[in-house]
Chains A and B, each alone.
Chain A
């Protein structure tokens, strides 16, 4: 497997523009996570999905942020409108989670991240 694939790797956009970050999880994994990393705040969990359903979006900073997972092999994180303070590295991760036991069955695998710069 190629691992978790994120695109684009780098994105530079102007303030006010819409930005869409994409993630393809590892095949067979049923949980997907979006994290944001900045120097000031470190790694923050934004939202996660189990079986394509958003479970906890309490980490999403504002209504400008939205995430979707239309199927098991694709997720997007959208920022509209973007602001300079959204500049960060955004990571996607996936793993297998057992709804029956309530515990993960594998460790989490992270993508290489998308470095977003909003100017």
Chain B
């Protein structure tokens, strides 16, 4: 599976937007970009995914670079409940998916 690179940690002030970057320079044409997050003492939960176009849902937005070698998860207004580890995952054909080290987001009140 193609690898992803994320910063180990980021901080954000409460109620400000957060941009979480992910590099995936070896992405193939059929790889989807998925984001999951893991709240403290919880299992991971799905956030958003996309292939080529930018995507929005109630939780976040996903901005995908034109060459698809990077993407950014955007939380429009960070809340304390958004403090979590955010994982960027590439998923090709097949059912398995692998987590990297993720970005630990701290939200400052």
A residues neighboring B (CB under 8 Å): 4, 31, 33, 35, 42-43, 45, 48, 50, 55-56, 91, 93, 97, 102-104, 107-113
Contacts and interface: CB of A to CB of B under 8 A. Distances in A.
A108 B96 contact: no
Given A42-B100, A42-B101, A107-B49, A113 B43 contact: yes
B33 to A, nearest CB: 13
Given A42-B99, A43-B99, A110 B43 contact: yes
Interface in B1-49: 34, 36, 42-46, 49
B98 A110 contact: no
Contacts of A33: 96
Given A45-B99, A109-B46, A110-B45, 6 more contacts: A48-B96, A56-B96, A102-B94, A107-B46, A111-B43, A112-B43
Contacts of A91: 43-44
Closest 10 A/B residue pairs (Cβ): A110-B43, A107-B46, A43-B99, A102-B93, A97-B95, A110-B44, A91-B43, A31-B95, A113-B43, A111-B43
Main secondary structure of the interface of A (DSSP, over half): strand
A112 B44 contact: no
Contacts of B36: 108
Most A CB atoms within 10 A — which of B36, B96, B100, B101? B96
26 contacts: A33-B96, A35-B99, A45-B96, A45-B97, A45-B98, A48-B96, A50-B95, A91-B43, A91-B44, A93-B43, A93-B44, A97-B95, A102-B93, A102-B94, A103-B93, A107-B49, A108-B36, A108-B46, A108-B97, A109-B45, A110-B43, A110-B44, A110-B45, A112-B42, A113-B42, A113-B43
B47 to A, nearest CB: 9
Nearest to A97: B95
A16 to B, nearest CB: 28
Contacts of A4: 43
Nearest to B101: A42
